[in-house]
Amino acid sequence: MASISELGEFGLIKRLSKDIKINNSSTIKGIGDDAAVTDYKNKQTVITTDLLLEGIHFDLSFSPLKHLGYKAVTVNISDVYAMNAIPKQITVSIAFSNRFPLEAIEELYEGINLACKKYNIDLVGGDTSSSVSGLTISVTAIGEVDKEKVVYRNGAKPNDLICVSGDLGGAYAGLKLLQREKEVFKANPEVQPELTGYDYILERQLKPEARKDIIEFLEKIDVKPTSMIDVSDGLSSELLHIAEESNCGIRIYDQKIPIAEDTNKFAEEVLIVPTIFAMNGGEDYELLFTISQSDYEKVDVSPDITVIGHITEQSKGNFIIASDGTEIEIEAQGWNHTK
Ligand code: ADP
Ligand code: MG
């Protein structure tokens, strides 16, 4: 296989983009000119960017590059779905040191292309640079939404129901498991990592999906959430964003927070209350949204959506209610069950 220095920047871009097919009619011009061109006709456009740095956002000692490419795309388009919009194009910019051979960059793009295929998005451009050390990936997604369908963080009203998709805390449990096994391996490279039986939380951490299906479901049942956000930094922090932007209070119930069996199992093993994984963990990329009570029956048919509480007046504050009825104030960081 040729080396990157033999290929040069243009050769590399050509090679990485050779199999790309344009799937969306809104993509007029993709890779290959000075800029991409899109045409959204009468729709509104949403734009979002993420920057991922090696050592800060990912650890290549346990993240396979293909998974990392996939994740870089899914976490980015999760923000588009959180606006009730449909992602259509992405750009991907990368910088990498000479520690990365062509195979590594191709693996990364295999994951990126896989996510594009699965979510029907066009990779329409990017930038490529060398770096002094490590890998940096920046993804920008562009999506479309009907003007009257866009959902912000600021529309929640008292008595609205607070809903969350899927389950929470799994990605953080997966990260803790990987970090634990890395320490064990560093201390004694003879010992094989003990990862069996934890497929679910590992997948939640390494290969998260964006909740396209939930946005499609809400469209199908004709429910427009009053507010919405994706769960990237843990439930506490996302709830507080909604409270602050919507000028309202939050009341959720500990027992209602959906947590997967594997997450509970791992939490028990490391003696941490699973609710803490859900509240303070992160990277679950589920959707947190509020609906008016009149939409409850329509939403209730989905086994993938759980009502965890309701919106109150701002003066009532933000609380999580424990199973014994104790009211605990929700804090952005360091939500502490024992307080
Ligand atoms: P310029 O010098 O005008 O910035 P480039 O040579 O960087 O152009 O890019 C040429 C084309 O390849 C552009 O369409 C650009 O968007 C695309 N491109 C460059 N780097 C990447 C990348 N890492 N992934 C996808 N497309 C890329
Ligand atoms: Mg460029």
Please report, rounded to a whole number, the percentage of residues in the chain having pLDDT higher than 90. Answer: 90
Q: Sorting pLDDT into bands at 50, 70 and 90, what band is 338? A: very low
State residue 194's pLDDT score.
78
Max intra-chain CA distance, the chain: 66
What's the distance, CA 14 to chain centroid? 29
pLDDT at residue 336 is higher than 80: no
Nearest CA to ligand 1 atom 19: 127
For 203-236, the pLDDT digits (tens) are 999 999 999 999 999 999 999 999 999 999 999 9
Return the best residue to mutate from 13, 29, 93, 135 for the ligand 1 pocket (most ligand atoms within 8 A of CB).
Answer: 13
CA atoms within 13 A on the CB side of 209: 13
> Taken in order 230, 232, 234, 239, is the CA torsion positive or negative?
negative
pLDDT at residue 21 is higher than 70: yes
Nearest CA to ligand 1 atom 17: 125
Return the best residue to mutate from 93, 127, 135 for the ligand 1 pocket (most ligand atoms within 8 A of CB).
Answer: 127
Tell which atom from ligand 1 comes closest to the C-alpha of 33.
14
For 110-123, the pLDDT digits (tens) are 999 999 999 999 99
The angle at the Cα of 326, spanning 321 to 329, to the nearest 5 degrees, equals 60
DSSP string for residues in 13-68: HHHHTTT-----TTEEE-BTBSS-EE--TTSEEEEEEEEEEBTTTB-TTTS-HHHH
Helix axes 65-81, 102-118, angle to 10 degrees: 30
- Tell me the pLDDT of the chain averaged across its residues: 95
Please report, rounded to a whole number, the percentage of residues in the chain having pLDDT higher than 70. Answer: 98
Nearest CA to ligand 1 atom 5: 127
For 234-267, the pLDDT digits (tens) are 999 999 999 999 999 999 999 999 999 999 999 9
State residue 334's pLDDT score.
44
Q: Sorting pLDDT into bands at 50, 70 and 90, what band is 333? A: low
Task: Give ligand 1 pocket residues (Cβ under 6 A).
Answer: 13, 16-17, 31-34, 92-94, 123, 125-128
* Domains of the chain (ranges, CATH numbers): 9-149 (3.30.1330.10), 161-329 (3.90.650.10)
Across the range 61-82, mean pLDDT stands at: 97
